[in-house]
């Protein structure tokens, strides 16, 4: 009877657990199930590829060079035509790239197995055993204690030493290593404990680990570096495939010991794109680490007992207890002319499906901002081609001008139009998309290509589907690319779209790294994060090269609240802001710039003398118009003077409207503003102002080219030129 009660109670408990915890259980296994389905789909795609037959690794004959990865690439090229119809050009390119990478991995695995089989047979086994003495001597000549080892010995008396080989070692070699390590530790008052291991996966050679430091002279290590080289090299021609195979043959036949020195740590915990590690006591902030699965990460937190790292790839592939390798370099991105016209991810890899990126130079993503003595005053204008910007809030080369406003008010439109207007002006443009949808980035690229702007533009995309780590480093990567051109003496325009999402990504990382939160849950160093990013934009002096970086950061507000934490932070860092108002946008004003809240702290220094002269009173007149327009909404009687002011202001506002992708030259803006300010458009209906503008430019280009040439010079208009312009405008008004 008691057994029946137990069974009944157990069944009731199980039903309750299933009833109340089913959602939790579903969420728990959802990610795992999606991963399994994704891997199954990838496996099906790979199985459809005819893998190249493994070459016969016989050292009496050469490799069979007809069976290469190139055959798989050719097949994929034929299949690509059919795939385009089903998936589209962009999706097919990405699929093609992924499958080629998978094919390379398969190819290398086959070659790796062949080498392992050959080195386990005579005469290569005997030859490798003879080299063990030389490898030991070379390693013992390199060993030393690192600062991390010294720190470890302060709290522990014993430092562990591990000697690993593919085959059992002679006692004489083991004793030699033991003696050398004991002498090394005795010199600092420590003790050693030697462990000897056998690992057939090393294929041949020896590996000595002292603390966290590894001295590696194995065949496995040589193959590791060879695989890295294959990943970086494109295989697009028969000659390239032959070179890769010849290099592999040379390494396999004439293996020469080359000792690699690196450090190893251990993964303690992985979750939500964050990895906690121990070991690696000598690692630096911002340094890159590599996990056993091939994923990479960057150190963002160093604590006494553990190290926090953000992961760039799929963190699900990393397991607790696995080894993590110190790469030995600070996080960096490729730089150079080859990047122009390309779409890259946050770590500099091409994602546009347009082939390999041929670059040799790299630059750290975090660099010190130019010193004050290396900077020059901002005096040269950077024309946006947008009437409302160039006349009211001018931007100079080397300035940091914030674009701020609510969602869907035209912030990105201003940035894209500015990039289009740099065509033919020897300005490199970099557009950093942070947390944007892939379709949005694709549309921006399409528009830039349509107007010929991709030739001098780089797009760095950290899409919304990516991790917070990639969104965090994207603006720093874009700035590193910009600095390369700046220090060569060139002018660069960089757009951060947008820093609100960047701040959210950093907040997510900081909270996962268990950093204390502050206002609006942002970490306390969020201001320092954006300041050290934007301070890298500057105008260099002639002595320092004369280049410049002009930054256009974008911030999204909520209900026009510019007093929120992130907006106020960035406003205090930048040299002015362009505030876009939702009310103006909904009223049809494009761009919807609020004159009262928008300002450029560089001011007239960033304008030509002509534009400065023509727009001197424009801001005052527009502010007066806005005030009177609000007052007349009360329904009061309006006198003739007020009506004239309102009419003039309405025509000015209408003249400042501008369609997208239609930037105007500086002289055209100055001529239009002069004509409207002087009242030559008072009789023109507001709906016909576009025709007035187009007719004005055609009239002057057809009949008054001498005036146009003087306006193009950008110099201040003298009284004679002003008189000529008024005379021409009177004739133009009569012809309307």
Kindly list the catalytic residues.
601
Helices 689-703 and 705-712 pack at an angle, to 10 degrees, of 100
- Beta strand residue intervals within 133-259, DSSP E: 158-165, 191-198, 205-210, 213-218
Compute the distance between CA of residue 324 and CA of residue 307 in angstroms, rounded to an integer. Answer: 11
Please give the full DSSP string across 33-65, using - where no structure is assigned.
Answer: HHHHHHHHHHHHHHHTS-PPPPP---TTS---T
Instruction: Find tokens 């443009």 and name the residue.
Output: 429
Residue 132: both structure tokens together:
């063990």
Residue 320: both structure tokens together:
């607790």
Beta bridge partners of 216: 207, 260
Compute the distance between CA of residue 646 and CA of residue 18 in angstroms, rounded to an integer. Answer: 71
Sign of the CA dihedral with 226 first, then 227, 233, and 238 last: positive
From the list 239, 200, 231, 226, the residue with the least C-alpha distance to 111 is 226
From the list 572, 612, 580, the residue with the least C-alpha distance to 596 is 580
Compute the distance between CA of residue 12 and CA of residue 17 in angstroms, rounded to an integer. Answer: 9
Compute the distance between CA of residue 310 and CA of residue 471 in angstroms, rounded to an integer. Answer: 11
Compute the distance between CA of residue 28 and CA of residue 188 in angstroms, rounded to an integer. Answer: 50
Lateral strand order in the sheet of 548-556: 343-344, 457-462, 427-434, 491-497, 548-556, 402-405, 576-580, 599-600
Beta bridge partners of 599: 577
How many angstroms from the chain centroid is the CA of residue 278?
A: 28
Q: b vs e for 289-322, b when ≥16 Cβ sit within 10 Å of the residue's Cβ?
A: bbbeeebbbbbbbeeeebbbbbbbbebbebeeee
H-type alpha helices, 602-639:
609-614, 618-632
- Running DSSP on this structure, what letter comes out for residue 347? T
Compute the distance between CA of residue 409 and CA of residue 557 in angstroms, rounded to an integer. Answer: 10
Please give the full DSSP string across 632-669, using - where no structure is assigned.
Answer: HTT-----HHHHHHHHHHHHHHHHT---TT----HHHH
From the list 624, 632, 736, 641, the residue with the least C-alpha distance to 691 is 736
H/E stretch holding 459 reads strand 457-462
Q: b vs e for 116-131, b when ≥16 Cβ sit within 10 Å of the residue's Cβ?
A: bebbeeeebeeebeeb
Q: Please confirm whether the linkage preceding 591 is cis (ω < 30° from 0).
A: yes
From the list 542, 525, 537, 436, the residue with the least C-alpha distance to 489 is 542
- % helix, strand, coil for the chain, step of 5: 50, 20, 30
């Amino acid at each position: 009877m008691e057994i029946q009660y137990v069974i009944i109670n157990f069944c009731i408990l199980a039903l309750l657990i299933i009833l109340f915890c089913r959602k939790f259980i579903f969420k728990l296994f959802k990610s795992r199930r999606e991963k399994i389905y994704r891997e199954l789909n990838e496996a099906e795609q790979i199985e459809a590829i005819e893998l190249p037959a493994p070459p016969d690794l016989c050292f009496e004959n050469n490799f069979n060079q007809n069976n290469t990865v190139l055959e798989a690439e050719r097949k994929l090229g034929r299949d690509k035509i059919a795939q385009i119809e089903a998936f589209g050009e962009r999706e097919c390119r990405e699929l093609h790239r992924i499958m080629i990478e998978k094919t390379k991995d398969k190819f290398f695995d086959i070659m790796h197995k062949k080498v392992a089989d050959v080195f386990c047979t005579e005469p290569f086994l005997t030859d490798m055993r003879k080299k063990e003495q030389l490898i030991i001597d070379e390693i013992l000549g390199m060993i030393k204690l690192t600062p991390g080892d010294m720190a470890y010995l302060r709290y522990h008396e014993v430092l562990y030493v591990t000697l690993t080989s593919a085959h059992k070692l002679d006692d004489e070699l083991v004793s030699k290593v033991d003696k050398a390590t004991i002498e090394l530790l005795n010199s600092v008052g420590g003790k050693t404990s030697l462990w000897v291991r056998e690992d057939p996966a090393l294929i041949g050679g020896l590996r000595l680990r002292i603390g966290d430091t590894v001295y590696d002279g194995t065949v496995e290590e040589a193959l590791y570096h060879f695989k890295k080289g294959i990943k970086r090299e494109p295989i697009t021609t028969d000659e390239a495939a032959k070179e890769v195979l010849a290099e592999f043959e040379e390494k396999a036949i004439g293996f020469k010991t080359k000792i690699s020195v690196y450090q190893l740590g251990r993964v303690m915990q992985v979750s939500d794109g964050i990895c906690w590690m121990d070991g690696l006591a000598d690692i630096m902030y911002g340094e890159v680490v590599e996990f056993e699965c091939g994923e990479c990460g960057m150190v963002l937190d160093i604590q006494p007992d553990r190290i926090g790292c953000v992961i760039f790839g799929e963190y699900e592939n990393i397991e607790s207890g696995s080894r993590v390798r110190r790469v030995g370099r600070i996080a960096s991105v490729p730089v150079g002319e080859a990047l122009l016209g390309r779409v890259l991810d946050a770590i500099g890899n091409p994602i546009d499906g347009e082939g390999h990126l041929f670059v040799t130079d790299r630059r750290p993503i975090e660099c010190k901002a130019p010193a004050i003595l290396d900077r020059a005053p901002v005096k040269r204008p950077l024309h946006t081609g947008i009437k409302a910007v160039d006349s009211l809030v001018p931007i100079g080369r080397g300035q940091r001008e914030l674009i701020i406003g609510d969602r869907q008010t035209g912030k990105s439109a201003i940035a894209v139009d500015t990039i289009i207007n740099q065509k033919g002006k020897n300005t490199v443009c970099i557009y950093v998309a942070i947390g944007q949808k892939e379709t949005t980035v694709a549309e921006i690229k399409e528009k830039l290509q349509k107007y010929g702007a991709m030739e001098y533009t780089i797009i760095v995309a950290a899409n919304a589907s990516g991790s917070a780590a990639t969104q965090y480093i994207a603006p720093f990567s874009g700035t590193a690319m910009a600095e390369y051109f700046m220090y060569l003496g060139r002018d660069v325009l960089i757009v951060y779209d947008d820093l609100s999402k960047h701040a959210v990504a950093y907040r997510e990382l900081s909270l996962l790294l268990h950093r204390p939160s502050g206002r609006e849950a942002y970490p306390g160093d969020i201001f320092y994060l954006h300041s050290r990013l934007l301070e890298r934009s500057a105008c260099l002096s002639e002595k320092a090269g004369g280049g410049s970086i002009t930054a256009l950061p974008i911030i999204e507000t909520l209900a026009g609240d510019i007093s929120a934490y992130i907006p106020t932070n960035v406003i205090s860092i930048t040299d002015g802001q362009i505030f876009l108002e939702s009310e103006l946008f909904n009223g049809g004003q494009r761009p919807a710039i609020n004159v009262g809240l928008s300002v450029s702290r560089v001011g007239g220094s960033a304008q030509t003398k002509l534009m400065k002269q023509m727009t001197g009173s424009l801001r005052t007149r527009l502010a007066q118009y806005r005030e009177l327009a609000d007052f007349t909404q009360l329904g009061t009687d309006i006198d003739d003077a007020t009506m004239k002011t309102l009419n003039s202001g309405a025509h000015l506002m209408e003249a400042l409207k501008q369609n997208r992708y239609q930037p105007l030259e500086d002289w055209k803006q100055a001529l239009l503003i002069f004509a409207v300010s002087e009242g030559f458009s008072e009789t023109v209906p507001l709906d016909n102002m576009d025709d007035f503008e187009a007719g004005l430019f055609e009239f002057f280009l057809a009949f008054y080219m001498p005036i146009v040439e003087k306006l193009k010079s950008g110099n201040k208009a003298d009284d004679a030129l002003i008189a000529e312009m008024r005379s021409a405008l009177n004739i133009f008004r009569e012809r309307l």
